[in-house]
């Protein structure tokens, strides 16, 4: 066995083992350096794994040499590699871009603990993406959630605490529902391995425990993924978290839950439960549609830019859920591409917000008036990422919107109304983003001061790097498309 | 008889609902954490019940004894892990309640909500 075969395990072990070392460092700057190094190394591992997936495929990794289905196996396919790129990329972006903002938010004394929690969250999220075992996914989900609660609670505003308490309650209910579902499946099949589960479910098809399990798992993960109307924890948690933390979690944590949802509903249930895809569509598509329209409309009325973007996230999760709920090959492609592109756009937008708050010390849009003239570079990047969020041609967002519209048009009888809903919601996105852009460029600053005040060059360069990535993946989307195609193949297992 | 045979599952369902109901209806945050613990314990009971085999003993292989019936050890191990997760969640939840009490001076959800609305 050479080193490449150990990559899936290293992906989790590296941040998990660096975390206690980071806590031992007594200095905030050193802890940040170590955390960033670990995060970038994880990103490197994710890139190596992606190359492996696109090449010959990554061999299954049996932990401790115990062969599946008895031991725990780690699998990385196209969808998993996509998630790993997202998670490790978002973590590196948040850490690299968040140094100045985190130095202000977190006490130097407590900083090592904070970065330790960050790495544990990263390890948990990576673990979900590589694990091939249902219970193992639950454990990683709780590891990442518990660490995320700590990260959010580190916010300066005391409302971060009440927001995180709500998130803790709802997140735990979601995870427990998932655990109940896994229990019912284990009761009927005697296995926890995803691949084995998919095989054995055929023997107990259409029994009541399996149907109940499907319900519990879908609802539990929908709670964690903040699919409308189960999103109530999300806007406040995103708003009051430290800005750099918002960059990290907004880009990837809900998407990882959707990843598990896809894995269960398509990898496990789809081929085994009669009429499962119809039931899943009937359940999820109306919720997704109302989320897309209502959350976009609510976003228009927000006065805080972070809250505005958080409601926009709820709407974007709606797009992903809508595409996934179509239960077609094109729909799954669109869902995966939108996960990638939305993470890219939202990560960039929140990074820009981090820069705004760094100079003007407020996320309130009235206080940020005129910021476009004072920080032209950062605002330019914000506009590019905003265009990608809306789905303007030439940006990454356009690619996934295009795939989504194509997928929706295939739905017999409902194609046109669904396209109308998608276009209407995109127009709402134009409205809520324009509301901020107008204030930023044409508004008068509250104190009348219009002198330039840009953030330091390294942060500006990073913001532009992220913004240009939005354009790059709009013009050359081969990488996410190849990964999504491979992911769709494994999810449907050649069924469609 | 069938009803009695499913006794543990009934307890599981009832405990689960007690926990969920208290989570929704109680305003005191400490009570909410207690409700969460009840909610999770119900699931532990569910897993342990399903691992039970009629007439089964602890799964230990003894020299010279054959043909024993064992209870399934795997769900019990899973629940050991889940209990650890549950304790961590409870501990973190209580830590957040302590911090909330420091910042807001109360542990009542509706009072905290009212203070949040004002600011």
Domains detected in chain B? 7-53+71-118 (1.10.287.3510)
Q: Are B75 and A176 inside 8 Å of each other by CB?
A: no
What one-character DSSP code corresponds to residue A267? Answer: I
Say whether residue A180 is in contact with chain B using an 8 A CB cutoff: yes
- Residue A278's Cβ-count burial label (10 Å; 0-12, 13-18, 19+) is exposed
Instruction: Spell out which residues of chain A touch residue B36, defining contact as CB-CB under 8 Å.
Output: 169, 172-173
CA distance to A74, A92, A193, per residue, from A69 (Å): 11, 34, 6
Counted across chains A and B, CB pairs separated by less than 8 A come out at: 68
Helical segments of A190-233, H only = 194-200, 208-225
CA distance to A191, A376, A381, B20, per residue, from A466 (Å): 42, 16, 8, 43
Encoded tokens for A337? 């591409």
- Dist. CA A439–CA A159, nearest whole Å: 26
pLDDT tens sequence for chain A (496 residues): 567 778 888 888 999 999 999 999 888 888 999 999 999 999 999 998 888 888 877 777 888 778 877 788 888 888 888 999 999 999 999 999 888 888 888 888 888 999 999 999 999 999 999 988 889 999 999 999 999 999 999 888 888 999 999 999 999 999 999 999 999 999 888 888 888 888 888 777 777 888 888 889 999 999 999 888 888 889 889 999 998 999 999 888 889 999 999 888 888 887 777 777 778 888 888 899 899 999 999 999 988 899 999 999 999 999 999 998 888 888 888 999 999 999 999 999 999 999 988 888 888 888 888 888 888 888 999 999 999 999 888 888 899 899 998 888 888 777 788 888 888 999 999 999 998 888 888 888 777 777 778 788 888 899 999 999 999 988 888 888 888 888 888 887 744 3
Q: Are A153 and B99 inside 8 Å of each other by CB?
A: yes
Domain ranges, ordered by start, for chain A: 1-274, 280-496
* Interface mutation target, options B93, B110, B119, chain A, most CBs of A under 10 Å: B93
Find the angle CA(A242)-CA(B34)-CA(A225) to the nearest 5 degrees: 45
Alpha carbon A180 to its chain centroid, in Å, reads 24
Taking any CB pair shorter than 8 Å as contact, residues of chain B touching chain A are 16, 20, 23, 29, 32, 36, 39-40, 43, 46-47, 50, 75, 78, 81-82, 85, 88-89, 92-93, 96-97, 99-100, 103-104, 112-113, 116, 119
Q: How far is A180 from chain B (nearest CA, A)?
A: 6
Instruction: Spell out which residues of chain B touch residue A162, defining contact as CB-CB under 8 Å.
Output: 100, 104, 112-113, 116
Check if the beta carbon of residue A263 is closer than 8 Å to that of residue A136: no
- Dist. CA A185–CA A210, nearest whole Å: 6
**A153, A176, A186: residue with CB nearest B75:** A186
Say whether residue A290 is in contact with chain B using an 8 A CB cutoff: no
- Dist. CA B108–CA A239, nearest whole Å: 22
Helical segments of chain B, H only = 2-5, 7-25, 29-51, 73-104, 109-118
Q: What is the dihedral of CA A298, A304, A310, A314, to 10 degrees?
A: 0
Question: A75 phi and psi, to 5 degrees?
Answer: -120, 140
Under 8 Å CB-to-CB from A407, ≥6 apart: which residues? A323, A326, A328, A330, A331, A333, A334
Q: Are A161 and B43 inside 8 Å of each other by CB?
A: no
Say whether residue A137 is in contact with chain B using an 8 A CB cutoff: no
How would you write A407-461 as a 3-class SS string? Answer: HHHCCCCCHHHHHHHHHHHHHHHHHHHHHHHHHHHHCCCCCCCCCCCCCCHHHHH
Closest CA to A467 of A393, A405, A382: A382
Encoded tokens for A54? 């696109």
What one-character DSSP code corresponds to residue B57? Answer: B
Q: Are A150 and B89 inside 8 Å of each other by CB?
A: no
In Å, the largest CA–CA distance within chain B is 74
Q: Are A161 and B96 inside 8 Å of each other by CB?
A: yes
The residue of chain A with its CA nearest to that of B19 is A173
Instruction: Spell out which residues of chain B touch residue A168, defining contact as CB-CB under 8 Å.
Output: 89, 92-93, 96
**CA-based torsion, A251, A257, A259, A261: positive or negative:** negative
CA distance to A88, A309, A388, per residue, from A349 (Å): 18, 8, 10
Instruction: Spell out which residues of chain B touch residue A165, defining contact as CB-CB under 8 Å.
Output: 29, 93, 96-97, 100
Residues B44-85 have pLDDT tens digits of 999 988 888 877 778 787 787 777 788 888 888 899 999 999
């Amino acid at each position: 066995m050479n080193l490449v075969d150990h990559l899936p395990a290293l992906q989790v072990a590296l941040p998990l083992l660096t975390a206690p070392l980071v806590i031992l460092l007594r200095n905030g700057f050193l802890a940040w350096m170590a955390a960033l190094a670990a995060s970038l190394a994880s990103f490197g591992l994710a890139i190596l794994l992606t190359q492996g997936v696109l090449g010959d495929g990554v061999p299954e990794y049996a932990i401790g040499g115990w062969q599946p289905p008895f031991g725990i196996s780690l699998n990385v396919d196209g969808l998993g590699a996509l998630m790993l790129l997202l998670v490790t990329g978002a973590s590196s972006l948040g850490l690299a871009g968040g140094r100045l903002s985190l130095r202000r938010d977190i006490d130097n004394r407590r900083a090592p603990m904070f970065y330790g929690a960050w790495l544990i969250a990263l390890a948990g999220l990576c673990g979900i993406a590589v694990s091939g075992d249902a219970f193992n996914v639950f454990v990683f989900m709780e590891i990442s959630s518990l660490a995320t609660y700590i990260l959010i609670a580190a916010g300066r505003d005391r409302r971060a605490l009440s927001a995180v308490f709500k998130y803790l309650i709802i997140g735990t209910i979601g995870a427990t529902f998932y655990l109940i579902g896994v229990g019912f499946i284990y009761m009927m099949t005697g296995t926890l391995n995803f691949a084995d589960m998919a095989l054995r479910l055929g023997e107990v098809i259409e029994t009541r425990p399996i149907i109940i399990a499907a319900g519990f798992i879908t609802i539990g993960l929908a709670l964690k993924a903040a699919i409308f109307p189960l999103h109530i924890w999300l806007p406040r948690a995103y708003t009051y978290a430290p800005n750099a933390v918002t960059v990290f979690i907004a880009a990837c944590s809900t998407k990882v839950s959707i990843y598990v949802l896809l894995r269960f509903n398509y990898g496990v249930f789809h081929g085994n439960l009669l009429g499962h895809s119809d039931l899943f569509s009937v359940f999820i598509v109306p919720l997704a549609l109302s989320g897309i329209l209502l959350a976009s409309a609510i976003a228009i009325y927000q006065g805080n830019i972070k809250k505005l973007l958080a409601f926009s996230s709820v709407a974007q999760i709606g797009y992903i859920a809508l595409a996934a709920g179509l239960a077609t090959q094109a729909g799954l492609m669109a869902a995966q591409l939108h996960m990638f592109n939305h993470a890219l756009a939202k990560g960039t937008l929140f990074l820009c917000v981090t820069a705004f708050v760094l100079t003007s010390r407020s996320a309130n849009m009235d206080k940020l008036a005129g910021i476009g003239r004072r920080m032209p570079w950062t605002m330019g990047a914000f506009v590019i990422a905003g265009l990608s969020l809306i789905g303007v041609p030439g940006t990454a967002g356009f690619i996934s919107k295009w795939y989504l519209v194509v997928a929706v048009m295939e739905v017999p009888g409902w194609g046109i109304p669904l396209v109308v809903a998608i276009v209407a919601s995109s127009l709402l996105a134009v409205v809520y983003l324009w509301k901020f852009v107008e204030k930023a460029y044409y508004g008068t600053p509250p104190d009348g001061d219009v002198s330039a005040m840009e953030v330091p060059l390294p942060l500006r360069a990073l913001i532009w790097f992220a913004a240009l990535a939005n354009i790059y993946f709009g013009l050359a989307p081969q990488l996410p498309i190849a990964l999504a195609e491979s992911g769709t193949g494994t999810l449907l297992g050649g069924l469609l | 008889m069938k009803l009695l045979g499913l006794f543990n599952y009934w307890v599981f369902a009832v405990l689960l609902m007690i926990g969920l109901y208290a989570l929704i209806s109680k305003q005191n945050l400490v009570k909410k954490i207690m409700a969460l613990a009840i909610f999770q314990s119900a699931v532990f009971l569910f897993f342990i019940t399903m691992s039970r085999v009629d007439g089964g003993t602890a799964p230990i292989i003894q020299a010279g004894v054959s043909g024993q019936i064992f209870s399934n050890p795997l769900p019990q191990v899973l629940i050991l892990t889940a209990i650890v997760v549950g304790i961590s969640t409870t501990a973190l939840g209580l830590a957040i309640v302590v911090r909330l009490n420091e910042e807001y001076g109360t542990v009542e959800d509706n009072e905290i909500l009212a203070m949040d609305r004002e600011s």
